[in-house]
Amino acid sequence: QSVLTQPPSVSAAPGQKVTISCSGSSSNIGNNYVSWYQQLPGTAPKLLIYDDNKRLSGIPDRFSGSKSGTSATLAITGLQTGDEADYYCATWDGSLSTGVFGGGTKLTVL
Amino acid sequence: EVQLLESGGGLVQPGGSLRLSCAASGFTFSSYAMSWVRQAPGKGLDWVSTITGSVGGGSTYYADSVKGRFTISRDNSKNTLYLQMNSLRAEDTAVYYCARAQRITTGVWFDHWGQGTLVTVSS
């Protein structure tokens, strides 16, 4: 069971918007920065968002991150079939003194 | 260009040992924290361990699931990260990724990843 909770799957049509939530606690998301990763099938994860809402250079502005309290959200607008992937949130847990990942969310673009 | 190349994976019996290596290039290796992240077949990402860079004094952090069995280390003269894995269990079977880490204790993020090396623990 992951320290950070994500929905197992989300889906939306091409061109639409989807949001992926990541829920934690005061020992992790509530007091530390969140990052988001995209993992296409058979490949290594790729950083999309760091420090809650900063896009890595080269990442389209269709991808955005936000945080409120102990929850973070990844939003993807103008969905494309190439966005079909697994998405993970991550942060540091100050109580555990460990890095922590969410369980991952599979995005299907219908 | 930042490159991370893992090696050392393979098939090992339960209770056995294995040492993974990650050769880094394209950046000042000693200045950065480095991490190992694993992914069991069909499962999600699982943070394993992090070692800080020179500024952080080479401090190490471990997931509870590997503490006391795995040891992370680095050789800055060789630009190489290591993971010594002892007392391996079936549940350690996974692809192990080497990743460059940033920020660490206030919200770690991993900006570059290797291609991964597969470790299979089975008799």
pLDDT tens-digit readout, B59-73: 999 999 999 999 999
Q: Write phi, then psi, for A63 (nearest 5 degrees).
A: -100, 130
Q: How far apart are CA A102 and CA A72, in angstroms?
A: 11
Cα distance between residue B48 and residue B97, in whole Å? 10
Phi-psi bin for A45: left (phi > 0), alpha (psi -120 to 50), beta?
beta
Rounded Cα–Cα distance for residues A22 and A71 (Å)? 6
Q: What is the pLDDT of residues A20-41, one digit of tens each?
A: 999 999 999 999 999 999 999 9
Q: Are B21 and B6 in contact (CB under 8 A)?
A: yes
A40 touches chain B (CB under 8 A): no
The tokens 């470790």 sit on which residue? B119
CB of A70 within 8 Å of a chain B CB? The answer is no
Give the separation between CA A12 and CA A22, rounded to whole angstroms. Answer: 18
Q: State whether B47 and A99 contact (CB < 8 Å).
A: yes
Closest alpha carbon to B47 in A35, A22, A71:
A35
Q: Say if the Cβ atoms of A44 and B35 lie within 8 Å.
A: no
Q: Assess A32–B contact: CB distance below 8 Å, yes or no.
A: yes
> Is the pLDDT confidence value at B42 over 90?
yes
The C-alpha atoms of residue A53 and residue B80 are separated, in whole angstroms, by 31
The answer, yes or no, to whether residue B103 has pLDDT greater than 90, is no
Integer Cα distance of B93 and B39 in angstroms: 8
Residue A2 has pLDDT above 90, yes or no: no
* CA gap A4, A20 in Å, rounded: 12
**φ and ψ of B104, to 5 deg:** 60, -100
To the nearest whole Å, the CA of A17 is away from the closest chain B CA by 24
- The residue with greater pLDDT, B58 or B88, is B88
* pLDDT value, residue B17: 98
Q: B118 — contact with chain A (CB < 8 Å)?
A: no
When scoring B67, B109, B111, B115 by the number of chain A Cβ atoms within 10 A, the one with the most, hence best to mutate, is B109
Given a contact cutoff of 8 angstroms between Cβ atoms, the answer to whether B114 and B4 are in contact is: yes
